[in-house]
Chains A and B, each alone.
Chain A
């Protein structure tokens, strides 16, 4: 176990343990499994931040309609809409890649994880593009 690699690209000891969290951004010696690992964790961390940000924003509702509607006006500005697209993309990457991690981790389709990852990212890109068009199209 100690000398094997886990999946493709991540040493059993973990890049964070080996090089600190900055090791996640080090592309040297990484293969597709390593990229999936980094993407899953970065999108996951981003979504954790968003979860607490979302709860903070929802607390504006306690202050009444004026506070909420003022926020919504800001949220409909192009920079915020771009953040919506960014959020949607992160959710898609994390969710679809998560399906792959769950399936493979439970011992299902382990030999197909590379194809699953590529398929997940293609679907994520397509849905994110459609979502971006809808978000900026205002429909």
Chain B
């Protein structure tokens, strides 16, 4: 593949960013599956959609569904923040600043996933 054939939106300014791009593709592929499950299960399996409080709680009490939702949260958070990183890197910051941005986004991502998992637990506790 020549340089000219790369898509305009590939976020790889150099070899340093290649693993991030590959993981973003992997997480994107996983999201296609998980988002499909998330949408179909929540909007088509339950006759009215997952709309009412009792339906949502019953949904979250299913361990398989919790596992799917947590996996979805992990992949979507990685994919989203890797995308934000790619956009920020387009502004041409110094390498040092780019490293700081990467570290900050890792912290934001971990906090997001921890918050999401804690939220699931809090919802189930509140409903118990």
Contacts and interface: CB of A to CB of B under 8 A. Distances in A.
Range of interface residues on chain B?
35 or more
Given A33-B8, A34-B8, A55-B112, A102 B76 contact: no
Which applies to chain B's interface (DSSP): helix, strand, loop or mixed?
A: helix
Contacts of B51: 72
B53 A33 contact: no
Interface in A42-64: 44-45, 47-48, 51-52, 55, 58-59, 61-64
Contacts of A102: 25, 28-29
Given A61-B53, A64-B126, A36 B92 contact: no
Contact of A110 (B5, B81, B127): B5
A7 B90 CA distance: 16
A8 B8 CA distance: 6
Given A48-B83, A72-B52, A98-B28, A111 B123 contact: no
A91 B127 CA distance: 31
B3 A6 contact: yes
Range of interface residues on chain A?
35 or more
B108 to A, nearest CB: 10
A6 B10 contact: yes
A50 to B, nearest CB: 10
Contacts of A13: 92
Contacts of A44: 80, 83, 87
Contacts of A59: 119
A56 B21 CA distance: 29
Contacts of A21: 91
B9 interface: yes
A107 interface: yes
Contacts of A95: 28, 31-32, 35
A47 B80 contact: yes
Given A65-B53, A69-B52, A102-B29, A113 B119 contact: no
27 contacts: A6-B3, A6-B6, A15-B90, A17-B92, A20-B91, A21-B91, A34-B8, A37-B7, A37-B8, A41-B83, A44-B83, A45-B83, A51-B80, A52-B112, A55-B115, A58-B119, A61-B53, A61-B56, A62-B122, A69-B53, A72-B52, A99-B28, A101-B25, A102-B25, A105-B12, A107-B5, A111-B5
